[in-house]
Amino acid sequence: MSETTKKKGIFRYHGIILNSWPFMLAIMVLLSVRLAIRNPGLVELYFSKGIYPFIAKGFSSASNLVTFSLWDFFWILTILLLLCGLILAAFKKIKSGWYVLRVAQLLAILYSFFYLSWGFNYFRPGIETRLGWERPKLNEQTFRLIMNSIINNTNNSYIPISPSEYSIIDNLIEESYYKNSTKLGINYPGGTRRPKKMVFSSYFAKSGISGYFGPFFNEVHWNSYLLPMEYPFLLAHEKAHQFGISNEAEANLAAFIICTTSDDQRLQYSGYFSMLHYFLKDAERMNDYIKKIDKRVIEDIQFRHQYYYSLQNKTLKKVQTAANDVYLKSNNIKMGVKNYNQVVSLVISWYHNSDTN
């Protein structure tokens, strides 16, 4: 065999390795995901409590250096590059096969990076198991008791909130997370959490999205169209995701605990007001409860409904809800978007276990 032939063989081998490694990595991650679903205890021990705190600290510290959203910038750049590649392929400036291969490689890398950087948290045990809670029997009497408590606390904690107070509220939420870290089983500080506005707040407001967590850069985002009364709860919810609480109902529970156990009335009102929304959804005879709610709270509820209804684009809302439903179900959240409202049973469990401890 000639030296030239040998070199061609080596180059071809290297080319195969370079082109195939993203797919091999994705396959290994896929197999790990299948294993993780069946072994939540291992996920908790080795990823959520082992590797992830270091990932969160490193990524969030880096992204905290800039004021804008790296997550949003990344997706804008990615979409632009994909469109440019598509145009070049259409005009035969690049080979279509080469473009398709690169897109497939990118998707494989993003899939792998999502789970390795944060996504494995979806497969950890439920919060009641992690915290060793006793599950109470759910019945109408218990529901009514907790519902009445939430209504009373919402009424008593009522206070207007201004956007000018957001930086103070952020600090108060951090203080509450520090105070409740053991109670919630989280690793505090676990990095840094600098709230960042969504780049496309208007679009996401029409889709019904008030905030999100960007796992690639460990960033917490909030929508600039968000109502001030909801800001503390939303911020606490997204920060829960940063702490590795991936389940939406559990993030809602964490936000409720963080807000309502704070000594600050603004956080308390946001926590109780936001949770009242979920309990009212589950209430069979709503009129029985509406009569007990303070007039000022009723006005906030009505204003909230009208405000978001005026922003909403029904088509975008349906598309976003369907996409989110598929996303959650594909990540071991069997109830999909209904998972958000499962916080009601978790809050009842929280009250029960708080009373028994």
* Chain centroid, CA 129 distance in Å: 20
Judge whether residue 7 has pLDDT over 70: no
Q: Angle, to 10 degrees, between the axis of helix 265-282 and the axis of helix 231-242?
A: 90
3-state secondary structure of 212: strand
Judge whether residue 11 has pLDDT over 50: no
- pLDDT for position 336: 73
Percent of the chain at pLDDT exceeding 70: 93
Please say whether the beta carbons of 253 and 343 come within 8 A.
yes
| 64-110 pLDDT tens trace | 999 999 999 999 999 999 999 999 999 988 999 999 999 999 999 99
Cα gap 213→255, rounded to integer Å = 14
Q: How confident is the model at residue 289 (pLDDT cuts 50, 70, 90)?
A: confident
Buried b (16+ CB within 10 A) or exposed e, 292-307: ebeeebeebbeebeee
Q: How many CB atoms lie within 10 A of CB 217?
A: 19
Answer with the residue of higher pLDDT: 81 or 327. 81
| 341-353 pLDDT tens trace | 799 999 999 999 9
| 149-162 pLDDT tens trace | 999 999 999 999 99
- pLDDT for position 20: 87
Q: How confident is the model at residue 13 (pLDDT cuts 50, 70, 90)?
A: very low
Cis peptide upstream of residue 40 (ω within 30 degrees of 0)? no
Whole-Å CA distances, 147 to 153, 202, 203, 258, 348: 10, 34, 34, 19, 9
Q: Is 219 left (phi over 0), alpha (psi -120 to 50) or beta?
A: beta
